[in-house]
Amino acid sequence: VVVGTNDVPTVDATSAAFAELPNEIGSGTPHEASGTITFTDVDLTDRPVASAVFTSFTFEPAVNNVANSLTAAQLAAIAAVQAPLTVTQAAGNTNNGSASWSYSVPDSAFDFLAEGEGLTLTYTATVDDGHGGVVTKPLTITVTGSNDAVEITSGAQTAAIAEIAATHGSGQVD
């Protein structure tokens, strides 16, 4: 009599990268990244399911990692781009299969990145065979900052001056 055991699947995940649009401020053009999570399970009756969740980030200027000295505004900007991945299982998956993942965030969300700065978002891909076999693998999305045009934020200033009554020719300056 041979009694089988549950074997965990093996998993692999692809990463992606893109650069922020140069000289664009407030652009709604989406940055899209995508990849694949592939798996193999030796247990022929298992039907693994893939998912992915955000795990961490690293922020790199040209020289060194300054993630511990980021301002509240920078941390908020980074939190805004930690969008969930859309994971879609391939049709016909059996014990061996795949899922595609995709990421989409407007370019304006990356305006805080300067040229020479990089942001790497790390997600954890998980494959669960439904029988206790769970395996994880990190995948990353790396964004490279660019030089954006200077934006003038203040408009023309106006002021009102009221004439002083009954002071014609008095030499007072309004």
Beta strands in the chain (DSSP E): 10-13, 16-19, 30-40, 49-60, 86-89, 96-106, 118-128, 134-144
Q: What local confidence, expressed as pLDDT, does residue 6 receive?
A: 81
- Model pLDDT for residues 62-96, shown as the tens digit of each residue: 445 555 678 888 889 999 999 999 999 999 999 89
Asked if 110 contacts 20 with a C-beta cutoff of 8 angstroms, the reply is: yes
Please name which of 59, 51, 74 lies closest in space to residue 123, comparing C-alpha atoms. Answer: 51
Residue 84, CB half-sphere, CA atoms under 13 Å: how many?
6
The pTM (predicted TM-score) of the whole model is 0.79
- Model pLDDT for residues 13-43, shown as the tens digit of each residue: 999 999 999 988 888 999 999 999 999 998 8
